[in-house]
A and B are shown apart, each in its own frame.
Chain A
């Protein structure tokens, strides 16, 4: 089954404790992206990657890191999480053909930083 898998689905942690949210896709997609969703703000892009070893900042990259060492994986790293990073996070992937190809989303990771 074609899917984007995020882990964990839920995480409660404390300020300053490094965490990683994993994202994996099995569709051989070139493009992957991380978003955060906050009430009233829609989805805001954190980082994206056009291919292996190619990453770039989105609209709200501060406090986050990513890497793309393999095509299928695109982990999101919070080196020193803070309460303002409490949010719902989505990983998405898309094929390289642009156009009308939709982005496929993971089920989301609900992160609470205390």
Chain B
């Protein structure tokens, strides 16, 4: 069974609009963490934001925020006021266990921002 599911293979969004990228996960471990990475067309992987399972508040980093709904096992990435430079692949990944550094990855969502 898929542990990380990103249901949107691709999205087109108008510049300056907010974007929500979906990520659902499956784990029975009470301690876990969720990461979002951005991969522009140049290929590098850029860390965006992290949410721990015990974190009381949703994580935010600048224009990025994480809509964490634990009961629904979803960790959606929200990008406010999208920019052309946000066009990229976005990956959701999960760490299970407090000290396990291995990540389980989703298949990614290709986001294209239209001018």
Contacts and interface: CB of A to CB of B under 8 A. Distances in A.
Interface string A13-50: 00000000000000000010100000011111100101
A94 B100 CA distance: 11
B68 interface: no
B108 A42 contact: yes
A90 interface: yes
B104 to A, nearest CB: 9
Nearest to B98: A98
A66 to B, nearest CB: 15
Interface in A51-95: 58, 88, 90, 92, 94
Interface in A89-107: 90, 92, 94, 96, 98-105, 107
Contacts of B99: 98
Given A31-B101, A42-B105, A99-B33, A108 B95 contact: no
B50 A98 contact: no
B91 A43 contact: yes
Contacts, number: 57
B103 A41 contact: no
Given A90-B45, A98-B95, A100-B33, A43 B105 contact: yes
Contacts of A102: 35, 47, 50
B107 A42 contact: yes
Interface in B37-74: 43-45, 47, 50, 52
Nearest to B91: A42
B105 A44 contact: yes
Nearest to A96: B101
Nearest to A58: B102
B72 to A, nearest CB: 21
Interface of B: 4, 9, 33, 35, 43-45, 47, 50, 52, 91, 93, 95, 97-103, 105-108
> Considering the complex of A and B, which 4 residue pairs feature the smallest CB-CB distances, nearest first?
A105-B45, A102-B47, A42-B105, A100-B50
